[in-house]
Structure 1
Amino acid sequence: MPVSPRDLLATRPAPATATAAAGEKPPLLELVNLWKRFGDGPSQVTAVSNVNLKIRDGEFVTLVGPSGCGKSTLFNVVGGLLPGDDDGSILMHGRPMADGALLGKVSFMPQRDLLFAWRNVIDNAILGLEVEGVPRAKARARALEMLPDFGLKGFAKHYPHQLSGGMRQRVALMRTFLFERDMILLDEPFGALDALTRAMMQRWLLDIWSRYKRTVLFITHDIDEAIFLGDRVVVMTARPGTIKCDEVIDLPRPRDPEIVTSPEFIAIKRRLLDAIEEEARKSFMPESGGA
């Protein structure tokens, strides 16, 4: 069933503001009327436009949208890998972030695990801490304490080629969690895994998230994954990407695998699929005046 404009307005977040109400704790991250463009002149491409988004401390927010909508661009802007103040602003804890100021303030994991073949599990996991200047012995001690939580007890001296795909992802995630930042960005970390391993990793990630109390922004193309993991699912429009709708996932935690067959889950999935499919169709339409 198509999503009506009234439905979209009901789920769209109120425009973000640069100041919190009196006595209200500001969001951990706030994007205010954010634009990102590439190139100049006639060849300029607008990747994201007028994005307003608030993520509060401890939330697990999933981001979905049609291919090419700007999800990864937004990810790289929030991660500090791209300047993000073409127009608009980015705030953390209510404080504006200038160009380059976000780099190192969040930890992130791209789609590939990016483990170094010549480093064992522990040495791969502590890479971020080493770059930050943490003494090697202290970094290793912290990593060894976390091995059981990440299902890697007994594998400290194993190398990437000796690990399964799921284990490699857990090493990469441990590296991300060890680099202690308030926010973690995850860009389709389970996309390359088989369905069974992916489902197990989703449940495991929720358990880790509940233990370590980090704020997560998670990009995915999988609607079931977005709903199962998220406190909220944010849907982006076709390029230039902006926020189409922002749905609160009012499902109980902890979440069992069986929840994906519940009427509530299916109803949420239907609404989100309608929203995404509408945008996907737009992305295939020729531009006005085109062939």
Structure 2
Amino acid sequence: MTATPVQAVPRTSAGPLPGAWRLGLSRGALEIRQFFRQREQVVFTFSFPVVFLFLFASIFHDKVGSTGITASQLYVPAMMASGIMSTSFQSLGISIAVERDEKALRRLRGTPMPPAAYFLGKIWLVLFTGALETAILLAVGTGVYDVRLPSDPGRWFDFTWIFVLGLTACALLGIAISSVPRSAKSASSVVVLPFLLLQFVSGVYIAVDTIPGWMLDIGALFPLKWLCQGLRGVFLPDSARVLEQAGSWEFGRTALVLGAWCVGGLVLCLLTFRWKDRRG
């Protein structure tokens, strides 16, 4: 008997590989799921600015001069700005340093996944948590401290670009500073200390009109001060702008500074980011 010849079956093409944008969306969904699985981190991230808002607004609640607002209302946009920087700068600075120390970044770099997909995933995480943190603080501010939502569409447009530019600038700085810690154990100290100092010189915990001028000048070099000032300009009446260092909301300068930090932060990331730790 003769054997029946076996015909080769041609291999079908699996199609093009998914691009960085699609992989970034999948990576972002994974990052968000992993974030909410860590209950302690979720509680700390979203409760920290709210608790501090309650503390400071309970201690300082008198009328502020002839502005027609209370000190409690002054703290609401400041804590919103602090919450945005917490979910971007602090969160990324610590988490990426930990992933690098645990060799997770090194393993990801060895996969076919484009490097851009990893950073897109982090951006989606920061955007989601930052928006949720802002919504929580805004709900507390309007429900408890009588902060009025803007009725002018122009103010909501200002809020949108301030939020996007501020979040982007702080996120890029978080990625850049993640290369500074030598290990996961030192990441919290390296990242939290500058963030804490910036909150004091940027008008988060202390009113701008009571901070020494030289401290304000230092705070003006970083995005948090302008993020605070821009959000105060959105959610507080124009009578409160006399409390600012320049006596104005300075939306134009806020856009320039935050935009410059977006560009500068990107350059810092390109120059400093490493997939391996220093020992590797």
- TM-score (normalizing by structure 1): 0.24
Q: Comparing both structures, which one devotes a greater share of its residues to helix?
A: 2
Q: Comparing both structures, which one devotes a greater share of its residues to strand?
A: 1
Larger radius of gyration: 2
- TM-score (normalizing by structure 2): 0.25
